[in-house]
Structure 1
Amino acid sequence: MVVSIRDVAETAGVSVGTVSNVLNRPETVSAESAERVLKAIDELGYVRNDAARKLRGGVSTTVGFVVLNGQNPFFNDVVRGAEDEASRHGIAILYGNTDEDSSRERMYLDLFEEQQVRGVLISPYGDILPRLERLRSRGIPAVLVDRFGGTSRFSSVSVDSVAGGRMAVEHLIETGRRRIAFVGGPMDMRQVTDRLAGARVATDNALDAVELEVIATTAMTVAEGVAAGTRVLARPRRDWPDAMFAANDLIALGLLQSLVVGGRMLVPDEIALIGFDDISFAAAAAVPITSIGQPSGMIGRTALRILLEESDDAELIPRQTVFQPELVVRRSTATA
């Protein structure tokens, strides 16, 4: 049931005009009346429906897209794929970057709900399913992007990150590395934990003894990669890993920056390096970085297509689309 401004007015015991003033011109309303209206809004879960008021029953031509990290070229490519597909259907995409911040994620979802977008694509941070249920109850479908839903409640489009993590570490083992560090975080991000899980599968299945160390980061950024690499180099040389698997290419680029000692690059002669996402900067780095590739544009196009289908038919059964990753070998993992 959609709560109207009239419902809020009745609950608060004020006129519809007073509710409107609280929402649009709060300075014209007494503190007591404003408090009653805001309490009613909170109790009823009322959301301003500006877009619906404009459309007068029409179909929205906008879709919301919430991504984890707008600085990561991988997400830029995913959004571009969604935009290419959206343009074929006369749809515009409203874009929001959470920067791995749950409060910003909530802000964008509230905004898209208020605007009554046709649907929401989201690369979520943490457990977002209850919030997406609320959106769906208001007629706004959602599709998870770059994360397997792990549920039949929502459609998702992702890459098998567990397989990608296994593939990365198997490659490092094949090149002769036996002391491997996984660098990434935060650990409440599903993408990170899946890639780590895959790395552990590879080490468990190895014929020789392989050590897997976890070096946690607070974010998936170049700066965090630099900091992690600096911490490793501060150890005695005998305690260095002989390979690093970065949870994404931005961390790998930061690690590469840090692994320069006395003007000499330690990669790949002493430490092999592999990333994840295969962004363009990985190939263009001072030492081209081996990476696990994802079909970023296809992920965006597929997610947008599914979202539009579900917005047209709410009875469609949610589907889980999982692409397979690809190992892209470059100089950073040359055989030791």
Structure 2
Amino acid sequence: MNRRVGIRDVAQHAGVSIATVSNVLNRPDRVSDELRERVSESADELGYVPMPAARALRAGNSGLIGLTVINVANPFYGSLIAGAESAAATAGMRVFAGNIDDDAQQERDHLGLFDQLQVEGALISPFADTRAAVRGLRGHGIPVVLVDAEDEDGQLSSVSFDNRAAAAMAARHVIELGRRRVLFAGSRREVSQVRAREAGARDAVEAAGLTLVAERLPTTDPISGLAFGARLIAMEPDDRPDAVLCSNDHLAAGVVRALTSAGVRVPEDIAVVGYDDTPLAQVAAVPLTTVRQPAFEMGHSAAQMLIARIRDPHLARETVVFAPELVVRASTTG
């Protein structure tokens, strides 16, 4: 059986780069008449036949929605993706999801790939500053909707969660239980969602006449929670916080495991609060009090919002903000 001729073969035959062949096929206005003719002649001579997906790309209807998430290891983002996929499937479209893995360069690479793939629209759950990449996508006619974040510049439609109010709710909960040394543990400051959670916790703690201690961690998975829990254990008991607010359930579960393994009682000695209400919160060594985020519904709503803008680019900016709910379990009430 003969091997299918690809664009690499066409590029080699025409004496041009693969990028040039891609431009001839997908963005012919970017190349000269001479290059278009040379590439076309090589493609005809070799018998190059574009795949159906490539034909769809050139027609401007790839059927693809690009989606970036901060870290797919967190079950919250898995549910978010599932929600987006559900809405996309109803519209006859598919979601191409990119995992940022807490890395700003990887985020830029994924957004650049969305442009190359000519996705019909992009859903972005931002990790770092994506404004330049977003301008590039929109400049090529690709609509963008933010999910799990609001646009601080007031330009983009978004589906988000009231992180500030949610964290304030969690902080008030532990303060009402008599806790006075409250610590917030979250990821690096690049993440706007975590900045909002820290600000909300600070609002409630300072309103009670107390001082919030904030810890920034490189990552917020269960292993990071174990390491951070070990740091708390190494402190003198009177210097330890008596309540720890974590920026997600993964981190909180690791903290609880470290504390209880060392004989530090949760919640009697240290109350611990998670965030997201993932399944892990229910099955942790001590079931976690946590903030519930409707991840599936957020992903579904954001995809519907984006699809509407793919079909009608002139729709006005829209914002949807989901309200928080505190789910109280044993990690704060025993």
TM bucket by the smaller chain?
A: 0.7 to 0.9
Unaligned runs of 5+ in 1: 21-49
Structure 1 residues 15 and 330 mapped into 2: Cα distance closer, same or farther (>3 Å)?
Answer: same
| Residue pair 2:288, 2:331 contacting (<8 A) in 1 also | yes
Q: CA deviation at 1:130?
A: 2.2
Q: CA deviation at 1:231?
A: 1.1
Whether 1:241 and 2:261 are equivalent positions in the alignment is: no
Q: CA deviation at 1:5?
A: 4.3
| Residue pair 1:185, 1:216 contacting (<8 A) in 2 also | yes
Question: Which of 60, 63, 66 in structure 1 is aligned with 2:68?
Answer: 66
Query: Which position in structure 2 is the counterpart of 1:112?
Result: 114
| Residue pair 1:52, 1:115 contacting (<8 A) in 2 also | no
Query: Which position in structure 1 is the counterpart of 2:130?
Result: 128
Give TM-score scaled by structure 1 length. 0.84
Q: Secondary structure at the match of 2:155?
A: coil
Query: Which position in structure 2 is the counterpart of 1:164?
Result: 166
Query: Which position in structure 1 is the counterpart of 2:285?
Result: 286
Unaligned runs of 5+ in 2: 1-22, 41-51
Query: Which position in structure 1 is the counterpart of 2:154?
Result: 152
Q: Secondary structure at the match of 2:194?
A: helix
Query: Which position in structure 2 is the counterpart of 1:256?
Result: 256
Query: Which position in structure 1 is the counterpart of 2:79?
Result: 77
| Residue pair 1:148, 1:156 contacting (<8 A) in 2 also | yes
Give TM-score scaled by structure 2 length. 0.84
| Residue pair 1:181, 1:212 contacting (<8 A) in 2 also | yes
User: What is the distance in 1 between the residues matched to 2:293 and 2:70?
Assistant: 16
Q: Secondary structure at the match of 1:308?
A: helix
Question: Which of 193, 196, 206 in structure 2 is aligned with 1:194?
Answer: 196
| Residue pair 2:112, 2:133 contacting (<8 A) in 1 also | no
Q: Secondary structure at the match of 1:228?
A: helix
| Residue pair 1:125, 1:189 contacting (<8 A) in 2 also | yes
Aligned-residue CA RMSD (Å): 2.2
Residue deviations 1:235-283 (CA, integer Å, cap 9, x gap) = 1111111010001111101111211254x35211100000111101101
Q: CA deviation at 1:6?
A: 5.5
| Residue pair 1:52, 1:116 contacting (<8 A) in 2 also | no
Structure 1 residues 55 and 185 mapped into 2: Cα distance closer, same or farther (>3 Å)?
Answer: closer
For 2:127, the aligned partner's letter is Y
| Residue pair 2:206, 2:212 contacting (<8 A) in 1 also | no
Aligned length: 300
Query: Which position in structure 1 is the counterpart of 2:35?
Result: 15
| Residue pair 2:264, 2:270 contacting (<8 A) in 1 also | no
| Residue pair 1:8, 1:19 contacting (<8 A) in 2 also | no
